[in-house]
């Protein structure tokens, strides 16, 4: 029976809606929502209800790489340099040498347990060597827990920057397996060339793109996110063609974008946040469809053993060795060791051996899938409690900021501030004329539910209203405190 495009679209919509509805359950259980999308894919797949038969590793990898590019760009654009500046040294060590050490320790152990040649163990170790802080923070948000001091920026920086190292290690080990006559000296120059080309390409494309986006003056605002989407794809593709790390390039691209000023910045950030979620959902659904649960049963004992070794030995050893000279205390290092969740990247990397035709590739893929699931379930569920046990948690608070868009009104370089009126805001239940706004500041609209109001001086602002304010750069510092907000430059 021929499957029509309408059937495919209908089925895709059902899978997405099921995963979104399941996210409510994930909030209560403290399990990352993406695990539910993975489960939906498994249920719909060949070993489940057999709604969709899918075993195309190449297509899964292509989807995963595209998704990863947008996820890393979003991670970069959401990272505030001021918050991670103090942890750059520790983050760089963990995301490079820390990843390498984790891969080696776990690789040696895996080769022994699985009774495979060392290179195959190192391949497994390389694939699962990077961490996923998105999963960590999803758990913390669901339990309304945050982390003290510099822990959060460190984990944010490490997870955002350690994927290129895992990708390089995986590709290098596959190369060594496919070419037995080769040696480490053959892949070391490739690593440095990928690193250098990726860094320069990401930086160069960011500067060129920022210059363009502020000068294009496009007729339609909706074209600006299209511009950034094409920039991400162009940056990744060009860097890869030049022999560099496209993953590193798009992360640096996002990092520079996120810490620069450009027109429609807030709306573009919102767009890419939603796009990154969409990419993660599609990726986890695809990977869920690709796995055959019946094949996981034979490798379950080895999978549990390797998973526990990664969580309790390999990751902690790499953290404590890399941070031996760090100012972080013992309890903080323990927590950093425990929150090293494995997420989407290892599952994507597990498709590389399948496509390369490496021996034991299916066993490695199933082990990686198993390790990721065990990591998310065991570590993800327990992170809030471990943080409390180590006294490194603090209640999650809402950071109020003046979100802004850069706009051009005549010859003035003005900005639009989008401000939410909270219930405890000093501006709630006040008339516009009583807000004591600086001269020249204009409240242009008041959004109340589905209604948009053009305000007058006598208009009363209510809790849960969202207002847009037109002001110049110098007036921002005066406006935010009036509404009880934190000023962010």
Share of the chain above pLDDT 70, in %: 85
What is the C-alpha to C-alpha distance for residues 155 and 136, in angstroms, rounded to an integer?
Answer: 9
Q: How confident is the model at residue 399 (pLDDT cuts 50, 70, 90)?
A: very low
The mean-pLDDT minimum among 136-145, 426-435, 467-476 falls in 136-145
CATH among 1.20.1530.20, 3.40.640.10, 3.40.50.720, 2.40.50.140 for 55-395: 1.20.1530.20
pLDDT of residue 140: 57
Q: Does position 143 have pLDDT exceeding 60, yes or no?
A: no
User: Is pLDDT larger for residue 374 or for residue 208?
Assistant: 208
Q: Which residues have CB under 8 Å from 274's CB, separation 6+?
A: none
Classify each residue of 352-371 as buried b or exposed e, where b means 16 or more C-beta atoms within 10 Å of its C-beta. bbbeeebebbbbbbbbbbbb
Q: Does position 400 have pLDDT exceeding 50, yes or no?
A: no
- Ramachandran region of residue 358, left (φ > 0), alpha (ψ -120 to 50) or beta? beta
What is the C-alpha to C-alpha distance for residues 403 and 469, in angstroms, rounded to an integer?
Answer: 10
Nearest to 193 by CA among 127, 259, 242: 242
pLDDT of residue 463: 82
User: Is pLDDT larger for residue 137 or for residue 160?
Assistant: 160
Mean pLDDT in residue range 313-328? 93
User: Is pLDDT larger for residue 344 or for residue 167?
Assistant: 167
Cβ-based neighbour number of residue 249 at 10 Å:
33
Q: How confident is the model at residue 408 (pLDDT cuts 50, 70, 90)?
A: very low
Q: What is the pLDDT of residues 347-386, one digit of tens each?
A: 889 999 999 889 999 899 999 988 988 888 888 778 778 8
Beta bridge partners of 395: 145
Mean pLDDT in residue range 415-420? 76
Q: Does position 398 have pLDDT exceeding 50, yes or no?
A: no
Fold classification of 403-482 is Alpha-Beta Plaits (3.30.70)
Q: What is the pLDDT of residues 236-277, one digit of tens each?
A: 999 999 999 898 999 999 999 988 888 888 788 888 988 887
Share of the chain above pLDDT 90, in %: 27
Let me know: does 213 contact 406? Beta carbons within 8 Å. no
| Structural domain boundaries in the chain | 55-395, 403-482
The pTM score is 0.77
Q: How confident is the model at residue 405 (pLDDT cuts 50, 70, 90)?
A: low
Q: What is the pLDDT of residues 425-470, one digit of tens each?
A: 778 888 888 888 887 788 888 888 778 888 888 888 888 888 888 8
User: Is pLDDT larger for residue 115 or for residue 50?
Assistant: 115
What is the pLDDT of the chain when averaged over all its residues? 82
What is the C-alpha to C-alpha distance for residues 9 and 5, in angstroms, rounded to an integer?
Answer: 6
């Amino acid at each position: 029976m021929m499957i029509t495009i309408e059937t495919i679209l209908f089925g895709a919509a059902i899978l997405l809606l099921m995963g979104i509805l399941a996210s409510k359950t994930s909030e209560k259980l403290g399990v990352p929502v993406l695990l539910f999308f993975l489960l939906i894919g498994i249920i719909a797949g060949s070993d489940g209800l057999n709604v969709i038969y899918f075993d195309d590793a190449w297509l899964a990898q292509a989807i995963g790489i595209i998704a990863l590019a947008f996820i890393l760009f979003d991670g970069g654009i959401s990272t505030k340099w001021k918050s991670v500046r103090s942890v750059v040294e520790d983050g760089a060590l963990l995301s490079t040498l820390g990843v390498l050490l984790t891969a080696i320790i776990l690789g040696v152990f895996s080769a022994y347990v699985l009774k495979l040649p060392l290179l195959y163990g190192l391949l497994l170790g390389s694939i699962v060597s990077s961490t996923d802080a998105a999963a960590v923070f999803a758990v913390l948000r669901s339990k309304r827990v945050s982390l003290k001091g510099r822990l959060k920026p460190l984990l944010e920086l490490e997870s955002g920057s350690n994927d290129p190292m895992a990708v390089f290690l995986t590709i290098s080990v596959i190369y060594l397996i496919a070419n037995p006559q080769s040696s480490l000296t053959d892949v070391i120059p490739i690593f440095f060339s990928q690193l250098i080309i990726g860094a320069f390409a990401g930086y160069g494309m960011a500067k060129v793109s920022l210059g363009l986006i502020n000068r294009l003056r496009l007729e339609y605002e909706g074209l600006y996110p299209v511009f950034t989407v094409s920039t991400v794809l162009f940056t990744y593709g060009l860097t890869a063609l030049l022999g560099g790390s496209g993953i590193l390039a798009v992360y640096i691209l996002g990092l520079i974008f996120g810490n620069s000023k450009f027109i429609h910045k807030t709306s573009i950030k919102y767009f890419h946040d939603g796009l990154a979620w969409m990419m993660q959902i599609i990726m986890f659904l695809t990977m869920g469809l690709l796995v055959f649960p019946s094949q996981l049963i034979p490798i379950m004992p080895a999978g549990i053993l390797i998973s526990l070794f990664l969580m309790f030995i390999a990751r902690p050893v790499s953290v404590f060795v890399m941070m031996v000279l760090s100012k972080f205390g013992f309890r903080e290092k323990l927590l950093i060791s425990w929150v090293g969740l494995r997420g989407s990247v290892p599952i994507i990397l597990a498709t590389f051996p399948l496509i390369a035709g490496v021996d034991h590739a299916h066993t490695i893929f199933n082990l990686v899938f198993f390790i990721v699931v065990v990591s998310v379930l065991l570590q993800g569920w327990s992170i809030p409690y471990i943080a409390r046990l180590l006294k490194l948690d603090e209640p999650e608070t809402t950071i109020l900021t003046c979100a802004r868009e850069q706009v051009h009104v005549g010859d003035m370089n003005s900005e639009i501030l989008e401000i939410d009126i909270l219930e405890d805001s000093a501006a709630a239940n006040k008339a516009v004329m009583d807000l004591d706004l600086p001269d020249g500041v204009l409240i242009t609209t008041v959004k109340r539910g589905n209604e948009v109001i053009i305000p007058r001086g006598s208009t009363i602002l209510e809790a849960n209203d969202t207002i847009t304010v037109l002001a110049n750069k110098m007036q921002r510092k005066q406006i935010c405190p009036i509404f009880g907000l934190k000023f962010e430059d």
